[in-house]
Amino acid sequence: MQFTRRDYQHRARLAALDDPTRRQWLTIPTHLPGGRQTTIRDALIVDPARSRRRIAQMLSQHYSASPHWPALHGRLDTVFDLFTTTDKTADVAEASTRLLLDLLDWTGAVLHSSQLPARNDRSQRLADLAAATGARTYLCGTGGMRYLDTAPFAAQNITVLPFTTPPHGPAARRVGDQRSPSPDALRAQAPGPHSADRGNSSSGSPEPL
């Protein structure tokens, strides 16, 4: 998949402890040796040593006062070490994601979509990836709903639902007069591993659960 700048493939939002709505970007500076056509797996970290120091400082400044910081800080070295052993942005992004999932006792499997059979058409590819991971429901962001073709999903008995952030908690998500189930409820409906592609997403695009 093509690397997309100003997306979540090389950055994340850090929320202030005292005000979660106040956020700041944490970004791994990334070089694209092939220009705009560079794939995610070929994107390179700019000045890995300096990037490591900067990211370590930002995380400490934001979260050292949190009661959960000792548990996270004790595991971060495994991620920071990658800055000196690899020059791949994707390697650091995947390792940090796995670390957070492990801390949350997540028991799913991480798959790379590049290793799964999928056709090239945009909507067809997403439907194929959802089917390959055993999903039966696909949550789609409002941006993706504007271009998504739901026919390939219907052909594989996968329900497509619009996703919006709920105004009052995670129990249900209301879109107009329609309620979308929470991610936990959908996971219960869709046993099996979930799809991951080292940041395989673009702004406003849907992602399979």
Tens of pLDDT, residues 70-80:
999 989 999 99
- Give the mean pLDDT of 4-33: 92
Tell me the Ramachandran region of residue 35: left when phi exceeds 0, alpha when psi lies from -120 to 50, beta otherwise: left
Q: Which candidate, 170, 182, 171, 122, places its Cα nearest to that of 147? A: 122
Contacts of 110 (CB under 8 A, 6+ apart): 94, 97, 98, 101, 193, 194, 196
Q: Is the pTM of this model over 0.75?
A: no
How does residue 114 score in pLDDT terms, banded at 50, 70 and 90?
confident
Strand partners, 30: 45
pLDDT at 198: 43
Q: Does 109 score more than 80 pLDDT?
A: yes
Q: Give the pLDDT confidence of 136-153 residue by residue, as tens digits.
A: 999 998 888 888 999 999
Distance CA 64, CA 179 (A): 38
- What does the domain layout of the chain look like in residue ranges? 11-103, 110-196
Q: Does 186 score more than 80 pLDDT?
A: no
